[in-house]
Amino acid sequence: MILLFGEEQDHDVRKLLTLADREEISRGLAAGRRLCDIAAVVGRDRSVISREVARHGGRAGYRAGPAEEAARVGRSRPKMFAVDRSPRLREVVTGLLQIGWSPASIAGRLPRLYPTDETYRVSHEAIS
């Protein structure tokens, strides 16, 4: 509970999905259940389940083990900046900086220059 202006307020802390949750999601998908039914069994909102499934292979490709591993890797810190992970992106960003583009301009223009390539998405903070 958090005290706010003399009143007690419930504060929901975001709970991470567990491997057991992911296994239940996988079993539900394999059985052809609806996402809202799986969400009720897991005790989460339907949107949480929907994002989880979409993020890790969709209905046909979702597997609990790989989803758990991908989530663990995604949570690990510190993360490398996108420009450090991709030599192609680094080359493009460096070239644009050398001709006077600002980091914000580069970050905004890359999705237009490379609309189908997600590796060219970077924030201006990662360029600075």
What confidence tens digit (pLDDT) does each residue in 5-15 have? 555 555 556 78
Would you say 53 and 62 are in contact if contact means Cβ atoms under 8 Å apart?
yes
Q: What are the backbone angles phi and psi of residue 8, rounded to the nearest 5°?
A: -80, 135
pLDDT tens-digit series, residues 47-81: 999 999 999 999 999 999 999 999 998 888 887 88
Amino acid of residue 71 = A
Q: Give the pLDDT confidence score for residue 4 in this predicted structure.
A: 54
Strand partners, 8: 3
Q: Give the pLDDT confidence score for residue 10 in this predicted structure.
A: 54
Which residues, including other chains, have CB under 8 Å from residue 33's CB and lie 6 or more apart?
none
Q: How far is 119 from 6, CA to CA, in rounded Å?
A: 48
The secondary structure of 71-94 as a DSSP string is HHHHH-SSPPPHHHH-HHHHHHHH
pLDDT tens-digit series, residues 66-121: 999 999 988 888 878 888 888 999 999 999 999 999 999 999 999 999 999 888 99
Relative orientation angle of helices 46-55 and 19-30, to the nearest 10 degrees: 80
Q: Give the pLDDT confidence score for residue 6 in this predicted structure.
A: 55
